[in-house]
Amino acid sequence: MTTPDVEFRPLALPESVDSPDAGDLLEMVHVRNLVYREITGHDDDAMPADELLPHLRSSEYETRKMWIVLEHGRVIGRVGVDLPLEEGSKVAFWLIELLREAWGRGIGSAAYEIVESYARENGRSVLQSWAQHPTADGPRLTPPTGFGEIPEDHAARFYLRHGYSLEQIERESAFDLLAGFGAVESLLAQAEAASSDYRVLQWFAPTPAEYADGYAWMKSRMATDAPAAAMEFDEETWDAARIAEHDARYTDVGQTLQVTAAQHIATGELCAFNELVVGKDRTTASHQEDTLVLKDHRGHKLGTLVKCAGLISWRALVPDSPRVITYNAEENRPMLDINEAIGFAPIAYNGAWKKVLS
């Protein structure tokens, strides 16, 4: 603890946002949304408390721990650590987010001590974290992948000072849902012509029982098949029960999750998928979550197929959502080629940071 006026208080999650003990949660979410606005200049990452709550809860697959940071009793930030519960996991994922007025006074460093000791106590040695690094002049940092760069800003210096290395750059892109869909429609036609052995399937969470096993297998490949540079992810085991738990985090609070998949007609195997999500307020930005084509089925334009088919039905479903936000590794040329052709344009760059504890 840096000063007697600063407190790190474990966040106890209430049953619901209407519970009498929901005060800390509500303050945390308010500050979270302000922090993102200060960094990005927009509210596309804002979440209402009731929709965020299920994503904060621990499950049999992951322990999620959070502290609120208070100064003179007022919430000024939060600290979070996620511990995946895969067998033998060594990794921990963390965040520290402070209002700008609180930066540069050692509060982040004090929060970081909590992160590192919590990770050590739980036997984790590979600590990883992401931050947005808004465009700025001055010295730059590049990761070992050789793709992308970020300014050596306050957050970057914070990571370096605490022994982290920059491993990967992630590009955040936006697609304007209110502009023309000409490119999407012609790309979809080309992809359909190149994928005659496949059909497009679509559903909304909760996933229909007939697709749960196929979807679970594809979700399990997400952790191993997406380009991760030197960032480390556990091999994940997914089954129908884990899909149900995953889906409920969206459906329980009125979020809409659309899954567009490609099915190999001859075998019935699900081979590619794309996810789009919007909150209860469908006038807010949509988020593209996972997209993947299984390795054995690459080269048939299935990535373009599921993305374009997904966007076309999405526009009809949420005509007032202004854009779709997506994140891709800067070295993931095959995926960036598809996104750029569709009309996604870069809006920001994130650094992926890692430290291995001795």
Ligand X SMILES: CC(C)(COP(=O)(O)OP(=O)(O)OC[C@H]1O[C@@H](n2cnc3c(N)ncnc32)[C@H](O)[C@@H]1OP(=O)(O)O)[C@@H](O)C(=O)NCCC(=O)NCCS
CB distance 69 to 109 below 8 Å: no
Please identify, among the stretches 99-107, 285-293, 330-338, 340-348, the one whose residues bind ligand X according to the rule CB under 6 A: 99-107
Q: How many CA atoms lie less than 13 Å away from 214 in the CB half-sphere?
A: 22
Q: Tell me whether residue 132 or residue 332 sits nearer to ligand X (CB atom).
A: 132
Please identify which residue in 120, 157, 280, 282 interacts with ligand X, judged by CB under 6 A: 157
Please identify, among the stretches 59-67, 95-103, 166-174, 204-212, the one whose residues bind ligand X according to the rule CB under 6 A: 95-103
Please identify, among the stretches 40-48, 89-97, 192-200, 238-246, the one whose residues bind ligand X according to the rule CB under 6 A: 89-97
Q: Does residue 231 belong to the site contacting ligand X (CB under 6 A)?
A: no
Q: Tell me whether residue 103 or residue 217 sits nearer to ligand X (CB atom).
A: 103
Q: Tell me whether residue 22 or residue 31 sits nearer to ligand X (CB atom).
A: 31
Binding residues among 238-267 for ligand X as defined by CB under 6 A: none
DSSP string of 78-117? EEEEEEE-STT--EEEEEEEE-GGGTTSSHHHHHHHHHHH
Q: Does residue 120 belong to the site contacting ligand X (CB under 6 A)?
A: no
Please identify, among the stretches 96-104, 169-177, 199-207, 340-348, the one whose residues bind ligand X according to the rule CB under 6 A: 96-104
As to burial, measured by CB atoms within 10 angstroms (0-12 exposed, 13-18 middle, 19+ buried), residue 20 is exposed
Please identify which residue in 10, 41, 104, 299 interacts with ligand X, judged by CB under 6 A: 104
Q: Does residue 66 belong to the site contacting ligand X (CB under 6 A)?
A: no
Q: Does residue 103 belong to the site contacting ligand X (CB under 6 A)?
A: yes
Q: Does residue 11 belong to the site contacting ligand X (CB under 6 A)?
A: no
Would you state the structure tokens that stand for residue 163, as one six-digit string? 């022994």
The site that binds ligand X (CB under 6 A) totals a number of residues, namely 19
Q: Please give the Cα distance from 55 to 154 (Å, whole number).
A: 28
Q: Does residue 161 belong to the site contacting ligand X (CB under 6 A)?
A: yes
DSSP string of 299-320? TSSHHHHHHHHHHHHHHHH-TT
Please identify, among the stretches 100-108, 170-178, 180-188, 320-328, the one whose residues bind ligand X according to the rule CB under 6 A: 100-108
Query: Residue 249 CA to chain centroid, in angstroms?
Result: 14
Q: Tell me whether residue 153 or residue 275 sits nearer to ligand X (CB atom).
A: 153
Residue with tokens 């919590």, as numbered in its chain: 118
Please identify which residue in 29, 52, 119, 155 interacts with ligand X, judged by CB under 6 A: 155
Please identify which residue in 29, 66, 131, 188 interacts with ligand X, judged by CB under 6 A: 131
Which residues lie below 8 Å from residue 272, measured CB to CB, with a gap of 6+?
198, 218, 261, 262, 292, 293, 294, 297, 302, 303, 305, 306
Radius of gyration over every alpha carbon of the chain, rounded to an integer in angstroms: 21
What spatial distance separates the first Cα and last Cα of the chain, rounded to whole Å?
24
Residues that bind ligand X (CB under 6 A): 39, 95-98, 103-109, 129, 131, 154-155, 157-158, 161
